[in-house]
Structure 1
Amino acid sequence: MTIRLLSGGAANGLVSTIEPDFLAETGMGITGEFGPVGIMRDRVEKGEHVDVLVLTRKIIDQFAADGVVRSQSVQDVGSVATSIAVRDGAESVDVSTPDALRTALLAASAIYFPDPEKATAGIHFAGVLSKLGIDGEVADRLELHPSGQHAMAAMAAEGDARSIGCTQVTEILNTEGVRYVDELPEGCDLKTTYTAAVCTRSEAMREAERLVSMLTGPENESRRSEAGFK
C-alpha cells in the first residue's frame, strides 16, 4: 500500500528527499503526481481518490471549507518565489529590476515557462510579459510546457546559452542542467504559499497525517530550505 499524493510541481524535490524516511518509518511508499495546481484541483473536484494534497493555500482553504480535506490537518509547507533560470554553463543575466528583466527577455533566444492557463508560475509570467509590454515581441520565442519541471528539463535538453526560463525556484533547483539566477524583481515578483492537507476520504489517515507532519514540521526545515521553500 502507498500514500497517494497530488501536488503542485513546487513540492516534487522536497517529497523525493523525504520519501525514504517516510518509507522507513511507516512501511509505505508515496505515489506522487506533480503538476500545475489548476489541473490537480480539477482532478480532486472530479472525485479522484487521494490521501494528501500539496497545493496553494487558497485552494486548500477552499477544499477545507468544502470538506474535501480535514481542516485540522492543514499546514503550510512554505513560500516559493517565481524565479529566472539559465542553462548550466551559460552566463548569468541581470533581472534585478523590471527594466533589466525586460532587456534580458528581449535578448533571449528562447523563453521557457509552464502552462499560462493552469500553472501558477505560468499564469503569472504571462502577465509579466504583458506588463513589460513585450508579449508580442517575444511571442515567437515562447516555449510553453505542461509544468515548470517540464519547461526546465526542456531548456536543459534543447536550449542554448541565450535561453531563459521562468518558473518556481523549487522546480529550478530540482532540475539538472539549469541554474537559478534570481527571483523576479520587485513589481514583477510572485511568492506563492504551498499548503499540505489530509483528504477526508483517505484510507490511511495516520500515515497521511505523518506525511503532512514530515513535509511541514521542524524536523525537515533544512530540507525545505534546500528545496527552495522559505
Structure 2
Amino acid sequence: MSSVNILSGGAAHGLVGSLAAAFKAQTGFEIAGEFGAVGVMADKLRKGTPADIIVLTATLVAKLAEEKLVVATSIADVGLVETALAVRTGDPQAVVRDAADLREALLASDAIFVPDTKASTAGIHVANVLDRLGIADEIASRLRIFPNGATAMRELAASEARRPIGCTQSTEIISTKGVILSGSLPPGCELATMYTAGITSAAAHSRQAQELINLLIGAEQHQQRKRAGFVSGQDQAPT
C-alpha cells in the first residue's frame, strides 16, 4: 500500500488520524510519518527525512519555504491551537482566571507535565511563562519534560503523583485518554498558535499531499477540526 509521508507537530496528530480513513477512501493512500516537537520535525526535513507534506507552525513553514524546502504556493492555514492546562480524568479541574491563579495552581502541583521546553511550541511557551511568573527555579524539580505533548499527556494520565497538572496544546490534551482539558491559560499568559500545512519541494506524492491538505482545511471538516481543538474562522481564538 502506498503512503503519503508527513512530518507534523504533535498538535495535528489527532486531526490527521481522524481523517486517515477518508483520505484512504479518496486516494487509496495511507498516511505515514512522524509527529513531534515542531523544531525537531523541521530539522528532520532539513536533514533529508522523506516527506510529502508538513504541518507545523506558520512561522516555521514560512521559513522552510524561504529555504526552498516547501512549495510556497501550497501553504494553507489549518487553524489556531491554544496552549492549555490538563488534569487527570477524575481530578478536580484547575480554575485559572488570571496569572495569580495560574501561579498558585502550578505551585500547588507536585508534578508538572510539559513537552520539550526547547523545541516544542507549548514547551517553549511554558518555560517563558514560568520565568514571567517568577517560579521557574522553585518548580524546576517538579517539571516532567517529554519529547512532545502527546507523550507528556500520556505520562500525566499514568502519573501516581498526588496533584499533577499538565500544560501543552489543547489538541494533544483532547486526543489523549485519561486526561481532560482543564481550561485555557489566562490573559497575559495565553498562546494561540497558527498551524499551517504545505507540500515539500521533494514530495514524491505531491498530488496526494494536496488532497490531504484539502481534507485538513476543507469546510466540510470544520466541526472535525473544532472537536480536535483547532479554532478558525468565525470561532477564531484570541491571539
1: distance between equivalents of 2:160 and 2:79?
30
| Residue of structure 2 equivalent to 1:57 | 58
TM-score normalised over the length of structure 2: 0.94
TM superposition shift of 1:66: 2.3
| Residue of structure 1 equivalent to 2:70 | 69
| Residue of structure 2 equivalent to 1:186 | 187
Q: Which moved more, 1:151-160 or 1:51-60?
A: 151-160
| Residue of structure 2 equivalent to 1:82 | 83
| Residue of structure 1 equivalent to 2:172 | 171
1: distance between equivalents of 2:222 and 2:80?
13
Matches for 1:99-178 after TM superposition, within 5 Å:
99-160=100-161, 162-178=163-179
| Counterpart AA for 2:94 | V
| Residue of structure 2 equivalent to 1:4 | 5
Q: Which runs of 4+ in 1 moved over 3 A?
A: none
Is the 2:79–2:194 contact (alpha carbons within 8 Å) kept by the matching residues of 1? Answer: yes
SS in 2 for 1:105: helix
Deviation digits for residues 171-218 of structure 1 (CA, Å, limit 9, x no counterpart): 000100001011111101111100001112111111111001101121
Q: Which moved more, 1:190-199 or 1:59-68?
A: 59-68
SS in 2 for 1:138: helix
Please provide the CA RMSD for this pair.
0.9
| Residue of structure 2 equivalent to 1:195 | 196
SS in 1 for 2:190: coil
SS in 2 for 1:50: coil
Deviation digits for residues 127-182 of structure 1 (CA, Å, limit 9, x no counterpart): 11111011111111111111000000001012445111000000000100001011
Is the 2:52–2:206 contact (alpha carbons within 8 Å) kept by the matching residues of 1? Answer: yes
Q: Give % identity.
A: 45
Is the 1:110–1:159 contact (alpha carbons within 8 Å) kept by the matching residues of 2? Answer: no
| Counterpart AA for 1:206 | R
2: distance between equivalents of 1:135 and 1:221?
38
TM superposition shift of 1:65: 2.1
TM superposition shift of 1:46: 1.0
2: distance between equivalents of 1:205 and 1:119?
27
Structure 2's unaligned 5+ residue stretches are 232-239
1: distance between equivalents of 2:71 and 2:137?
45
2: distance between equivalents of 1:91 and 1:80?
24
1: distance between equivalents of 2:62 and 2:148?
23
| Counterpart AA for 1:228 | G
2: distance between equivalents of 1:30 and 1:159?
35
1: distance between equivalents of 2:111 and 2:160?
7
1: distance between equivalents of 2:170 and 2:162?
20
